[in-house]
Amino acid sequence: MVLRVICTLLFVVAMPWPTLAQPTEGPWRDRARTFLVVRIADALNLNEQEALKVSNVIRQADGHREELIKQRQALEDKLRAALDKQPPDAAELARLISEGNDIDQKLALVWEDSFRDFQKVLTVEQQARLMLFRRGLQSEIRRAVQGRRAQARRRGWRGGGPGGQPTADE
């Protein structure tokens, strides 16, 4: 059954979805989504239909996160422009800082919200298993991201922001 779920998920991930046309998309992003879905499907013993529903929740959460990252990047451009003004407008800076805090808070909650969305498509027993599995999954994801960043640094990557500073999504 797990093999069948994996094959179905690989098919779904490989399909050309309109949301995947964003320039930030790439094979690594599809692999990350597939990894999440397969890990959750395996831990919760999901059937194909349930795994597809979980996949959709993950895809929607990732799309929402990408949109928030774009908003954050646009806000950073506005902040830079506001700081370049002489003298800087304190009221404008305060408003932009407040907007940035709101966006950062929403970014921090994207995956929390997705776990609430999982509850809409999972049985109570599956929700309980997810609750138990969640911390380990988060640790696994963190280790994978750290490994990916370490690998990128070994190749000479220094970060995407000004002066090598990480951008909002790093």
The answer to whether residues 127 and 26 touch, using CB atoms and an 8 Å cutoff, is no
Ranges 7-16, 45-54, 89-98, 157-166: which has the least confidence:
7-16
Residue 4 tokens, joined: 């069948």
- At 47, which helix (H) or strand (E)? none
pLDDT tens-digit series, residues 35-92: 889 999 999 999 999 999 999 999 999 999 999 999 999 999 999 999 999 999 999 9
**20 contacts: CB under 8 Å, gap ≥ 6:** 30
Whole-model pTM above 0.85?
Answer: no
Say whether the peptide bond before residue 166 is cis (omega within 30 degrees of 0): no
Residue with tokens 């922001």: 161
**45 contacts: CB under 8 Å, gap ≥ 6:** 126, 129
